[in-house]
Amino acid sequence: MTTITIDRNVSIPLRDGTLTSADIYRPAGAQRLPTLLQRTPYNKNASGGYYQVFAIRAATAGYAVVIQDVRGRYNSGGDFHPFVQEQPDGFDTCEWIVAQPWSNGRIGMFGGSYVGLTQWQAALAGAPGLEAVAPHVTASDYHDGWTYQGGAFNLYFNYSWATGLTSETAGRRRAADPATLLFAANLERVDDLNRFIVETPLDCDQTLLELGPWYAEWIGHPALDDYWDHLNVAGRYQDLDIASFNSGGWYDVFLGGTIGNYLGMKWEGGSERSRNGSRLLIGPWSHATASSGGAAGDYFPGAMGSPDAVDLQGQWLGFFDRWLRDHAAAEYDATPPVSIFVMGENRWRSETSWPLERAVTTEFFLGSGGRANTAAGDGKLLRERATGADTMPDHYLSDPRDPVPTVGGQLCCPVHWSPSGALDQKVVEGRADVLVYTTAPFEEPTEVTGPVTVILYAATSAIDTDFTAKLVDVCPCGCVRNLTDGIIRARYRTSPREAGFLTPHEVNRYEIDLWATSLLLQPGHALRLEIASSNFPRFDRNYQNGGVQATTPLAEAVVAHQTVLHDAEHPSRLVVQIVPRG
């Protein structure tokens, strides 16, 4: 049996003299080992944590494992400033590791969420010795897919993550929970918090300032600009020479980034190692269940849906064995690079590519008699373009004072307003400002696996607005459960870098990215598409007046008349990938 030694609170110096704190797990005895590094803001001493278990397992397998509190968190000195500190600090930490007598100079990194971000930032910095990363449930673009999505502020995640982070016990930090933050500001509506932060003097309310100056920075950079360019992995894969094992969940807030990192490294990686060493695994998980397994909302995938069912930690070790020890390279490289959990069938499947090469791109065209938002709505998803009465446009009013509520979905983090995952959408579909389009029930088992996109032709009376799209599974028993969704802010419809306002009542083409899903629809099930103009508080609501979202008061919001077209000249449609059975 291997004996493990654990050195607690080892000081790792950074270039500006700041001392960070780390725990080091190693097999007993003097030897030079490959090293696995985790840089976390979530407490390296988390009792019984998923990653501490992995550290012991990896040390038993012959690795040195370093788990470090990042700058400004828990036992580490300095001030925490998300994103911007992680490139230099990741470089310095790796530089320190390769100089240690127990290191052989080869480093891998592991961990999820923000801990996945610290891996990519170290890679972008060209950290010494870094050869492989295993980022779990994390993003590729920290503007689109983390802080914003489709141009809309990712309010639920940003607010809940920031308040959750500051409410943790972190040494000198005073606890602050979301309710305290709202009551301290005497706010009636949560998205007014953004305006309050921007307009409040720095010494006015210390409780609110515990969100950190970085939260105001995020609000202050709504468009893709130099602030984000320096941080984003997306668009810079050609600069990287590392292998990557990318894992995520169908209901994870970072699903798009997980897939984006896999594809970016696979096709654009800067070396043969980057391209051949890119792997993808997607389970039936939300952000919260990506380590523990369990139900994602009302959807329970069964015991086989657990990360332990596929020995995710063992797969990470096999990956590191391949790239840090060169063990069984030929055998490892011969295995399929993609592993997905097919919901509905509730089983894992290996694939040679993503998207699946055998999948057939399939379009479902919107159609209705102009009543897709009534209780007896006649909205349809058709295999052919709408004709006759089905070409009549649909109309609804978008009122920011009464936004469509968030009910499940790809959410994170603490559950303040809605659980994440699959939930019944009846309360949403009963609203007059939600359009509903449904296929006929499928007569045979039908698998939808791959990217999901909505092409929408629409007009609005406002100069700016949002359009949201949600893909839904309709059960024969009457349940209506969300699969994936997306949003586009009209001002950023053509470019994430420059806002371009609308001409009222002019028809525009919108492309809404719903990321991806994998589901086997059993006979009797149907696909449904919901179209609306808000999904609050997952995304901040658009006040539709063209003002600066973060500083415009709700009282100045504009009600917009929305028109969705689906005639011969405006073929609004849902685009999915259908996988032939057998």
Which residues have a Cβ under 8 Å from the Cβ of 48 and sit 6 or more positions away?
none
SS3 53: helix
Where do we find the tokens 């390279």?
A: 329
The amino acid at 553: P
**Whose CA is closest to 219, among 148, 139, 113, 141?**
148
CA 299/CA 305 separation, integer angstroms: 11
Per-residue tokens: 283: 């389970």
Neighbours of 314 (CB within 10 A): 13
Among residues 252, 321, 394, 424, the one annotated as catalytic is: 252
Q: 3-state DSSP helix/strand/coil percent for the chain, to nearest 5?
A: 25, 30, 45
SS3 59: helix
Fill in the DSSP letter of residue 296: B
Strands 573-579 and 446-460: antiparallel
Q: How far, in whole angstroms, is CA 18 from its chain's centroid? A: 31
Print the SS3 string covering 460-474.
Answer: ECCCCCEEEEEEEEE
CA 533/CA 452 separation, integer angstroms: 19
Among residues 113, 286, 518, 534, the one annotated as catalytic is: 113
Among residues 287, 525, 566, 570, the one annotated as catalytic is: 287
SS3 359: coil
Check if 113 is active-site: yes
Check if 252 is active-site: yes
477 upstream amide cis, omega within 30 of 0: no
SS3 193: helix
Q: How far, in whole angstroms, is CA 254 from its chain's centroid? A: 1
Catalytically active residues are 113, 252, 287
